[in-house]
Amino acid sequence: MSQTAPLEVPCPTCHKTVAWVEANAYRPFCSERCKLIDLGAWADGSHRIAGEPAMDETEIDEMVLRAERDAGLTP
C-alpha cells in the first residue's frame, strides 16, 4: 500500500510551507505566533469579509415599516 504525501499549504501569515497533518496543532498556520498575528488582524479590523455594512436595528425597523406600508398592512 502506498503512502501519499501530506497536503502542503502556505501559512496565511508568513507563507512558509506547512504540512496539513494532525501533529500540527496550528494548521493552517506554521506556529502559534503566526496564528496570533492573524487573530490580531481580525480583531483590529485589518482582515474583514467584503460586503455591505451591517444594518443597525433602527434601519431594520424602518425597512420593515416601509415594506408593511407598501404592502398596505399599516395605515
- Note the pLDDT tens digit of each residue in 7-48: 999 999 999 999 999 999 999 999 999 999 999 999 998 888
C-beta neighbour count of 18 within 10 angstroms: 22
Joined grid coordinates for residue 28: 493552517
For residue 12, report the phi and psi dihedrals to the nearest 5 degrees. Answer: -60, -20
Output the pLDDT for position 1: 53
Instruction: Find out whether 17 and 5 touch, Cβ atoms under 8 Å.
Output: no
Whether residue 54 has pLDDT greater than 70: yes
Output the pLDDT for position 18: 94
Sign of CA dihedral 43, 49, 53, 55: negative
8-state DSSP, 16: -
Q: Is the pTM of this model over 0.75?
A: no
